[in-house]
Structure 1
Amino acid sequence: MTTSFSTVTAQGHAVPLYLIQGDKSGTLKTPEAYRELVDKVTDGTFHDVYVFAHGWNNDFDESVDLFKRFFTGFLERRVPSADWKPVFVGVQWPSVVLVFPWEKGPAIAGGNNAEADRDFQHHALGVIGDELDDAEAARLRELAGRGSLEAVEQVEAVGLARAAMRGSLPEIARDTLPTEAELLESWRALDQASRPSVPVNPDFGFADEPDAAAAAGTAQAAGLLSALDPRNLIRGATVYMMKDRAGTIGANLVGPLLQSLTGAGASVRLVGHSYGCRVMLAALSTATLPYKARSALLLQPAVNQYCFAEAGSIPHTQGSGGFARAIDQVELPIYSTFSPHDFPLHDTFHLALRRAKDLGEAELAAEAPPSIYCALGGYGPQGMANGSASTIPIVEQATFEYPATARVVALDGAGERITSHGDVTNAFTCWALAEQDARPV
């Protein structure tokens, strides 16, 4: 009896889809599927293995739908060959759907409305509370549910949120856990960006807030936090925690999977979306692979723009990008999409991850991203030598033209080619994998 979950069918192809699941620590939850997959690679049933890690998505059915839509679009564009023996693998891990209610477009996942925001807050507080003892978790939920806090309680809330963070693989040299003061700074930044456009269900305890920007300004002028929306502290803390969790999943679950698959003779292609890209890059950066992966496609990666940077190329540090090693673990150049239409990654991500020392650090060029903490999926790679990174428009049904020296190819989704953070199963993104597959190694 097979342990594959489903079959993806298109253009006369019928390809099995296996689901490999891990818990928050990266412990394997589907050993039968894992063993069967590796066994079928070993005996030659499968050779071409496509591994896809989702990002901000805590719903089983939605992640399966993402895998199937993307791989269907890929199959519709992939030219078959006689020796092609494909199998699809979806990596599922417990992530949280992030909701920024002031977004003009769709949220990272789910609806941009009060119900989605309320659901996010409930789930996010549960995730944060899992890392605290029962009394601390109850206290944070109490504080987060108030419309306003005394100054000492606001400091207490920041301390509890930080206590839930554990830290994971750094993406840049100075990518350490934020101090309580820096976590507060990101809370302020998110609050300034927010708009009071989403009503809140008082049954959960979050009262309607006054104008957020004006209130935040008043709070900063007074040196207090009285006007800061506690929901934005929970959002900021969740960004950090899911960032850490994605790295843990990559190192503990996907890295060993890649070692097993490549050791069994598979030609492995990697695909990630959002924080799923961090899953894949963490796996590549920590695993000892018997053979390199064939390709990697990063779809709107929620990772730092300097993650591939060479030593000395990141402002205010001599270190290199934390995922620079991943480049050498892949035979073909890494493809990475980015888009100015990705509101969360272009306009919001760096607010959640900012540090106090990041303020005013735009000794970067005038056209450069506004913060060293900007996302790869919002701005493309930074800090790579001329020729090692190439930026080109993402196109459909055409060969991507880039220099032979390129090791990272940034695919620009401007011009409505990638219209939002979740717009990664369209004709352009599916073609990107088919185009990679058509290239000789």
Structure 2
Amino acid sequence: MSGPFQQFPLDGGPTADLYLLRYGQDGRLRSPLAEQEIKDRLAGVSDVFLFSHGWNNIFAQALARYRSFITGFIDQRQKFAVPVPPDYKPLLIGVIWPSTSFVMPWEAGPKIAADPDPDGAGARQIEEMLGLVTESLDPEVDREFIELVDGRAVIDSDAALRAAEIVLDGLRAEHDPDDGSPPPTAKEFLAVWEALDGGGDAAPPADPNEFGTAHRAESGLLVAGGGSFDPRSLLRTATVWKMKARAGEVGSNGVGPLVAHILRESGVRLHMVGHSFGAKVLLSALVSAAPNRPARSMLLLQAAINRWCFAADVAGTGRPGGYHSALDQLERPLLTTFSAFDDPLTKVFHLAMRGSQLGEPGVAAIGDPELYGALGGFGPAGVEGISARRTAAVPGLERYDLGGGLRLIAVDGGIEIDGEPAIAGHGEVSNPATWWAMHALARPD
């Protein structure tokens, strides 16, 4: 669609206009008229705020989150008289990308585990996930996979091993772009699968300074319930893999060209705000754009990406993280939140995204977030000397110090403000603490 989707009133009469850009699963732009109008308007605006949702299910939910954050941000500026640049004329862009048409496993609850309602919404989600996982398989392999898992709540270890081989080959055959880890072998993944069947119980406490490993059988694998596995755990994990890859494609192929145009063809200040896998969308967009000047700022809210993604040396491997270069493409330090109250990112992510032999000998530890933990669950790793950890600032009373040569500030949203956690869950990212973090990046002083 062309024209702004909604206009938000500002002080003194002007408006902040919100445009929505829809992208296909491969990053193909599906809103060319709206994008062209954005480009035509760049000469008359000072600041562009670019938002990307994460696990939002449908257009209406993504739009509701954008509206909530924008309205709260504007109201908070007025409440605390936050200064703006003298030429302040903002334009807002919301990315709409297919992060699935159903509730993502992590949004549905803290566990990637079997749904207790086999005839309700959970069953429909399983059907959709089955289609999502198998849509890219060769016909012959697809038939074999369907025979193994379709409609089953339990399969034996031999069937589970073959199902894991198929899914890994089809959806996770390459090294992880965030941390560079090779994919787990099918046998290694069976240990992860067992932990997921248990609801992620092999994961350690959410304290980012307390790491651990699950108990391991002598064979190096955890044995699931006498050799039985729930295929729904595999489908949920494979769906996470697919959405993670899709976020990168949407960012690189779709949003990236727009970011490149904004930074090369205009002088506006570009601010980027991404939630969950939306953080990967925007990081991929910025890195792929290779702009000739930096964006102004980036705020990542409970990012579902590996915590080593910004490291110069990932876990002693000699490889940089997939988004290490992004830190040099921002004028101000990147702000990223993490919270002990984010159950999906503290209890499940490092199981679902576990690779093989990243920075340590032998089989990678099961349930160890030190290597495979989420940025939004435990904060960044491998960024000593250029980063700092700060508790979430109290709006109107405290400020973030963006100086001192820092390139990255990890904001602990697990602390309490006025008796409540600053970030109480994975989706609780439009609130006074997050608006205040955005003000720290956008204000002129």
TM, length-normalised to structure 2: 0.82
Is 1:88 paired with 2:95?
no
Query: Is the 2:190–2:222 contact (alpha carbons within 8 Å) kept by the matching residues of 1?
Result: no
Shift of 1:359: 11
Q: Secondary structure at the match of 2:325?
A: helix
Q: State the secondary structure of the residue aligned to 1:170.
A: coil
Letter in 1 for 2:190: L
Contact persistence 1:358–1:371 (CA under 8 A): no
Q: Does 1:306 align with 2:304?
A: no
**Equivalent pair of 2:76/2:435 in contact (CA under 8 Å):** yes
Query: Residue 17 of structure 1 aligns with which residue?
Result: 18
1:132 shift after superposition: 1.5
The aligned counterpart of 1:392 is 390
Q: Is residue 2:179 matched to residue 1:181?
A: no
Deviation at 1:5, TM superposition (A): 2.0
Within 5 Å, give how 1:214-229 maps onto structure 2: 226-229=227-230
Equivalent position amino acid for 2:308 in 1: Y
Match of 1:153 in 2: 159
1:32 and 2:33 matched: yes
CA deviations 1:82-111 (Å, max 9, x no partner) are 41111111111111342259956xx89xx9
Following superposition, the deviation at residue 358 of structure 1 comes to 6.2
Residue 243 of structure 1 aligns with an amino acid whose one-letter code is K
Q: What pairs with 1:261-276 in structure 2 (closer than 5 Å)?
A: 261-265=262-266, 266-276=268-278
- Maintained 8 Å contact 2:161/2:187: no
Letter in 2 for 1:253: G
Of 283, 286, 307 in structure 2, the residue corresponding to residue 284 of structure 1 is 286
The residue aligned with 2:50 is: 51
* Local SS of the residue matching 2:315: coil
Q: What is the distance in 1 between the residues matched to 2:10 and 2:361?
A: 49
Structure 1 residue 130 displacement after superposition = 1.6
Flag structure 1 segments of 5+ consecutive residues without an equivalent: 196-212
Q: What residue number does 1:164 align with?
A: 170
1:230 alignment partner in structure 2 = 231
Residue 253 of structure 2 aligns to a residue in which SS?
helix
Question: Are 1:8 and 1:68, in contact at CA under 8 Å, matched by a contact in 2?
Answer: no
What displacement does 1:223 show? 8.3
Shift of 1:339: 0.3
Seen in structure 2, the aligned counterparts of structure 1 residues 410 and 64 have a Cα distance that, compared at 3 Å, is same
The amino acid across from 1:185 in the alignment is A
Bigger shift: 160-169 or 390-399? Answer: 160-169
SS for the counterpart of 1:164 is helix
Structure 2 distance, partners of 1:224, 1:342, is: 28
Mapping for residues 132-147 of structure 1, pairs under 5 Å: 132-144=137-149, 145-147=151-153
1:338-389 CA distance string (max 9 Å, x none)? 0000000111100111235469889x9xxx9743000010111111122x10
Aligned to 2:210: none
State the Cα deviation string for residues 102-159 of structure 1 (Å, max 9, x = none).
956xx89xx9977453343222222112211345445434533212224432223212
Find the residue that maps to 1:186 and give its secondary structure.
helix
Letter in 1 for 2:163: A
Alpha-carbon displacement from aligned partner over 1:274-321 (angstroms, at most 9, x marks no partner): 00001111122222213211000000001111111122xx33512121
Partner of 2:325: 325
1:13, 1:75 within 8 Å by CA — same for their partners in 2?
no
Offset from partner CA, 1:218-242 (integer Å, 9 cap, x none): x967689842211111111112111
Q: Is the 8 A contact 1:148 1:226 kept in 2?
A: no
> What is the deviation of 1:186?
2.4
2:194–2:222 contact (8 Å) kept in structure 1:
no
> CA separation in 1, counterparts of 2:197 and 2:250?
30
**What is the alpha-carbon distance in structure 2 between the residues aligned to residue 221 and residue 322 of structure 1?**
31
Q: Is the 8 A contact 1:390 1:409 kept in 2?
A: yes
- Deviation sequence 1:41-77 (CA, Å, 0-9, x none): 1xx2323110011111231110111111111111112
**What is the aligned length?**
408
Distance 1:91 1:17 in 2: 11
Residues 105-120 of structure 1 mapped to structure 2, 5 A cutoff: 115-120=120-125
**Contact 2:21 / 2:93 at 8 angstroms: preserved in 1?**
yes
Partner SS state of residue 198, structure 2: helix
Q: Which residue of 1 aligns with 2:424?
A: 419
**Aligned residue type for 1:232:** S
Distance 2:424 2:16 in 1: 29
Is the 8 Å Cα contact of residues 165 and 241 (structure 1) preserved in structure 2? yes
Rounded to whole Å, the distance in 2 between the matches of 1:283 and 1:183 is 30
Corresponding residue SS for 1:406: coil
- The one-character-per-residue Cα deviations of 1:197-229 (angstroms, maximum 9, x if unpaired) are xxxxxxxxxxxxxxxx9xx99x96768984221
Task: Give, as a single letter, the amino acid of the residue that structure 1 aligns with 2:97.
Answer: W
Aligned to 1:204: none
Q: Which amino acid aligns with 1:433?
A: M
Distance 1:38 1:100, change over 3 A: closer
CA RMSD of superposed structures (Å): 3.3
